[in-house]
């Protein structure tokens, strides 16, 4: 029988672990934002700069985590 290895979080570690509730919510919100952005780009031809939306989402998540 294979033994499951458990990695404990070190002090000061900030990596996103998808098995924690916070990490799961962060990954879920990022994937939701990406899906909404893809839908809006495919539905709207007039959207000139999708990188602007990416930068807004990145800045939002960066300041929420800090």
- Token couple for 29: 């919100």
- Percent pLDDT > 90 in the chain is 0
Name the one residue in this structure whose structure tokens are 């807004």.
Answer: 56
The residue among 51 and 10 whose pLDDT is bigger is 51
* 66 contacts 58 by C-beta, under 8 angstroms: no
User: Contact 40/29 with Cβ under 8 angstroms?
Assistant: no
pLDDT above 80: residue 14: no
Through-space distance between the first and last CA atoms of the chain, rounded to whole angstroms: 42
Q: What is the rounded CA–CA span in Å between residue 21 and residue 34?
A: 20
């Amino acid at each position: 029988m294979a033994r499951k290895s458990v990695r404990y979080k070190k002090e000061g570690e900030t990596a996103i672990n998808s098995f924690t509730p916070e990490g799961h919510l962060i990954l879920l919100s990022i994937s939701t934002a990406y899906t909404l952005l893809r839908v809006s780009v495919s539905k709207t031809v007039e959207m000139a700069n999708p990188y602007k939306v990416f930068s807004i989402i990145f800045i939002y998540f960066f300041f929420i985590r800090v």
